[in-house]
């Protein structure tokens, strides 16, 4: 089998890395196609995946529109040469080119933005989502009891390594906070501003009273905050999240990663995040605030409150165990689904409970 996996964001590498390793071990051919965003190239090199970099993402609105044509064209030429049997991921370029060449396109989605509906309706062969309450995409949707972060952080595959504490210059009992800021340059980020600079600075000053503070940021930080930037190799970030006392910020993915690992998480964002909402309401693992100035202050206050709760990590681990008991092994499911497609598609449509074979 020849599999093409298109990468739109560094997290996509994690989504598919275990699946890719499985098929590579079987001597199937797996090719990653990527844009050069953040740490994508570093991660692909670290995992020794075969990849083609088709350029940096465009930042302006005009550039993004041109990018739809340019990246699709480049991916089309790659597909002509590589001749994939199946395409994986949730990007326009991948789904469009897959359909042009008449090959199955399997996507995953957890954002439910308008473009996801359009892609799934017209371009995807199947789109897999979590079964938490969310807008229905269409008849091609398959909902499973999982979060996308479980594709790489399920305890069947991931055990955090305490060596990251040495990399951070910490002792085992030291408290620390990770604050995550995003660039707000994605197409779905129009209209968002995130946390005000003065509140970013205030959050650091307040949290410093109780813990060491590290910042993960997609973009350049002002000089007052740059000294707090976390300095670890990209593939150790999940280890750092696992041992943190608190993770707070503007990123859906990193906050959900923290939750999956049993770390208290606080999101500051105006857009509804369906999986973090379930993690908050069903399992009590996350807290959600809007980008309003009032809510930003409340988020900082909640962070201080959590940092002062004794043995909070032990309590969060209990809640994590409850959450994991409800979920499937998403990677095992995806391997089965891809390896047996299209028969697997018919099986899961006829019997949605078949997914629970993958616990």
pLDDT tens for 41-70 read 999 999 999 999 998 887 777 887 777 888
pLDDT for the residue 187: 44
Within-domain flag for 29: yes
Same domain, 332 and 312: no
Same domain, 210 and 337: no
Same domain, 117 and 199: no
Same domain, 117 and 180: no
pLDDT for the residue 214: 98
Same domain, 69 and 139: yes
Same domain, 131 and 238: no
pLDDT for the residue 183: 67
Q: Which of 111-125, 222-236, 239-253, 258-272 shows the lowest mean pLDDT across its residues?
A: 111-125
pLDDT for the residue 61: 74
Angle between helices 343-350 and 330-339 (to 10 degrees): 130
Give the H/E segment covering residue 30: strand 29-34
pLDDT tier, 310 (very low <50, low <70, confident <90, very high otherwise):
very high
pLDDT for the residue 293: 92
pLDDT for the residue 189: 46
Would the pLDDT of 247 be above 70?
A: yes
Per-residue burial over 92-110, b if 16 or more Cβ lie within 10 Å, else e, is bbbbbbbbeeebbbbbbbb
**CATH number of the domain to which 225 belongs:** 3.40.50.2000
CA–CA–CA angle 292, 298, 300 (5° rounding): 105
Q: Which of 198-212, 218-232, 284-298, 306-320 shows the lowest mean pLDDT across its residues?
A: 218-232
Within-domain flag for 157: no
Same domain, 287 and 253: yes
Mean pLDDT calculated for residue range 86-94: 84
Same domain, 240 and 93: no
Per residue in 179-209, pLDDT (tens digit) is 999 864 444 444 456 799 999 999 999 999 9
Within-domain flag for 158: no
Distances from the Cα of 30 to the Cα of 49, 253, 275, angstroms: 8, 25, 29
Within-domain flag for 283: yes
Per residue in 20-40, pLDDT (tens digit) is 999 999 999 999 999 888 789
Mean residue pLDDT of the chain comes to 92
Same domain, 88 and 230: no
Same domain, 309 and 215: yes
pLDDT for the residue 190: 45
Same domain, 53 and 180: no
Within-domain flag for 69: yes
What is the share, in percent, of the chain residues with pLDDT greater than 70?
A: 95
Per-residue burial over 295-330, b if 16 or more Cβ lie within 10 Å, else e, is bbebbbebbeebbeeeebbeebeebbeebbeebbbb
Within-domain flag for 256: yes
Within-domain flag for 273: yes
What is the share, in percent, of the chain residues with pLDDT greater than 90?
A: 77
Within-domain flag for 226: yes
Same domain, 220 and 251: yes
Q: Which of 112-116, 185-189, 281-285, 309-313 shows the lowest mean pLDDT across its residues?
A: 185-189
Would the pLDDT of 237 be above 50?
A: yes
Q: In total, how many domains does the chain have?
A: 2
Q: For residue 342, say if its preceding peptide bond is cis, omega within 30 degrees of 0.
A: yes
For residue 53, which phi and psi values (nearest 5 degrees)?
-90, 120
For residue 57, which phi and psi values (nearest 5 degrees)?
-65, 150
Residue 114: domain span: 2-152+328-357
Would the pLDDT of 351 be above 60?
A: yes
pTM of the predicted model, to two decimals?
0.91
Mean pLDDT calculated for residue range 165-174: 96
């Amino acid at each position: 089998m020849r599999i093409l996996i298109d990468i739109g964001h560094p997290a996509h590498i994690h989504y598919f890395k275990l699946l890719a390793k499985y098929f590579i071990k079987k001597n199937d051919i797996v090719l990653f196609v990527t844009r050069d965003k953040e740490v994508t190239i570093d991660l692909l090199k670290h995992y020794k995946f075969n990849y083609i970099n088709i350029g940096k993402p465009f930042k302006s609105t005009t550039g993004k529109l041109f990018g739809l044509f340019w990246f699709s064209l480049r991916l089309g030429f790659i597909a002509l040469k590589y001749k994939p049997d199946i395409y994986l991921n949730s990007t326009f370029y991948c789904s469009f080119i897959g359909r042009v060449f008449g090959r199955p396109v399997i996507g995953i989605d957890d954002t439910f933005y308008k473009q996801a509906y359009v892609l799934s309706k017209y371009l995807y062969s199947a789109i897999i989502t979590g079964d938490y309450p969310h807008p229905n995409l269409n008849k091609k949707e398959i909902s499973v009891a999982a979060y996308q972060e479980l594709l790489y952080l399920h305890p069947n595959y991931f055990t955090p390594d305490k060596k990251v504490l040495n990399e951070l210059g910490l002792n085992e009992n030291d408290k620390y906070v990770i604050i995550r800021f995003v660039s707000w340059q994605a197409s779905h980020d129009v209209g968002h501003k995130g946390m005000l600079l003065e509140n970013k600075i205030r959050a650091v000053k307040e949290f410093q009273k109780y813990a060491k503070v590290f910042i993960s940021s997609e973009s350049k930080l002002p000089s007052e905050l740059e000294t707090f930037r976390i300095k670890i190799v990209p593939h150790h970030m999940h280890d750092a999240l696992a041992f943190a006392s608190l993770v707070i910020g503007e990123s859906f993915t990193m906050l959900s990663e923290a939750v999956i690992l049993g770390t208290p998480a606080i999101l500051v964002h105006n857009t509804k995040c369906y999986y973090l909402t379930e993690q908050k309401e069903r399992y009590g693992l996350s807290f959600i605030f809007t980008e309003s100035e009032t809510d930003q202050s409340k988020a900082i206050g909640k962070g201080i409150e959590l940092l002062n709760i004794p043995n909070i990590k032990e309590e969060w681990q209990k809640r994590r165990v409850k959450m994991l008991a409800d979920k499937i092994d998403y990677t095992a499911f995806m391997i089965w689904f891809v390896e047996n497609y299209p028969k697997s598609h018919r099986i899961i449509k006829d019997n949605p409970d078949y997914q629970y074979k993958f616990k």
